[in-house]
């Protein structure tokens, strides 16, 4: 199916589109998602005038939200998805998904949200509710392509709760997995402190302390401060406490890993 025929098929289902300069993500002159159209004659003329045009999809009129996972930095797609899961940001896969020319992924969901775009929601992840580039657009010979139903935008599932909440709050939203309720970043620190004070016992001590030290390092606190708190956590909230050499190993490992991220 040619770009023109495919685009007209989308238009037939009410989707609004707009043309992009061939081989780019840039709208052609005087066009943007604000001028997107689902008028067949208008759209057909765009492709008659510029047959190799790439394709932009306006999202809001169809209440679409896209989780855009980039593949541009050192973190792999899998690492980024795992990081999302670590924060309670599940990505239901039973929905329409496209792969980008760089190997990134676009997860499409339905949901009405007031915020139109959050860039760098977490590293390598943008949340889009205004527009996105879609298949069969191509960049330098590599095309956007469907990895689920072949270009079937009618099989898009409702957005997970955290995604709707995030696009309303303009800030990260974490999930209290025990109660399956969203909690905003305002009280996330409180939840982490509660988790620390609750503590842990034999069986999960190393992994548990690793998680807490990792979080402390990522707050940006001075390493000496982190180490002091890590020792206190081990002494007061782990039963029985880990040997000092194991605490030292955990601290050095986490610190080295975080420093390497910024040195790349």
pLDDT digits (tens, 9 = 90+) for 175-199: 555 555 555 554 567 767 878 888 8
CA distance 7 to 143: 15
Read off the pLDDT band of 229 (50, 70, 90): very high
- Residue 149: predicted pLDDT: 67
- Residue 182: predicted pLDDT: 55
> 168 pLDDT exceeds 90?
no
- Residue 171: predicted pLDDT: 58
- Residue 106: predicted pLDDT: 96
DSSP readout, the chain?
Answer: --HHHHHHHHHHTT--EEEE-TTSSSBPTT--GGG-B--HHHHHHHHHH-TT-EEEEE-GGGTEEEEEE--SSSS-HHHHHHHHHHTT-----SS-EEE-TTS-EEEEEE---S--EEEEEETTEEEESSEEEETT-EETTEE-EESSSTT-TT--PBPPHHHHHHHHHSS-EEEETTTTEEEEGGGHHHHHHHHHHH-EETTSHHHHHHHHHHHHHHTT--HHHHHHHHHHHHHHHEESPPPHHHHHHHHHHHHHHHHHHHH-
Q: Where are the domains of the chain?
A: 3-167, 199-263
- Residue 133: predicted pLDDT: 96
CB neighbour class for 257 (10 Å; exposed up to 12, middle 13-18, buried from 19): exposed
- Residue 48: predicted pLDDT: 92
Q: What's the pTM?
A: 0.66
Q: Residue 7 contacts by C-beta under 8 Å, 6 or more apart in sequence? A: 17, 43, 47, 55
> 256 pLDDT exceeds 70?
yes
pLDDT, average across residues 159-175: 77
pLDDT, average across residues 42-65: 94
Read off the pLDDT band of 215 (50, 70, 90): confident
């Amino acid at each position: 199916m040619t770009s023109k025929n495919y685009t007209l098929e989308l238009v037939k289902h009410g989707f609004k589109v707009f043309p992009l300069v061939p081989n780019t993500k840039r709208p052609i002159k005087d066009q943007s998602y604000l001028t997107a159209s689902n008028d067949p004659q208008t759209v057909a003329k765009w492709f008659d005038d510029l047959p190799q045009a790439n394709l932009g999809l306006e999202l809001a009129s169809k209440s679409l939200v896209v989780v855009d996972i980039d593949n541009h930095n050192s973190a792999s797609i899998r690492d980024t998805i795992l990081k999302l899961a670590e924060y309670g940001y599940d990505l239901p896969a039973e929905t329409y998904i496209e792969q980008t020319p760089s190997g990134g992924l676009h997860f499409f969901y339905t949901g009405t949200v007031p915020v139109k775009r959050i860039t760098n929601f977490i590293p390598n992840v943008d949340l889009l509710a205004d527009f996105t580039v879609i298949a069969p657009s191509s960049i330098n010979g590599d095309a956007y392509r469907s990895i689920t139903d072949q270009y079937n935008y009618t099989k898009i599932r409702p957005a997970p709760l955290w995604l709707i909440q995030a696009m309303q709050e303009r800030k990260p939203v974490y999930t209290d997995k025990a109660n399956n309720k969203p909690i905003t970043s305002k009280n996330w620190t409180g939840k982490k402190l509660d988790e620390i004070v609750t503590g842990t016992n034999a069986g999960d001590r190393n992994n548990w302390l690793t998680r807490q030290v990792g979080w402390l390092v990522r707050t940006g606190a001075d390493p000496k401060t982190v180490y002091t708190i890590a020792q206190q956590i081990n002494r007061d909230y782990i039963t029985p406490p880990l040997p000092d050499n194991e605490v030292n190993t955990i601290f050095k490992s986490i610190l080295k890993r975080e420093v390497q991220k910024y040195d790349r």
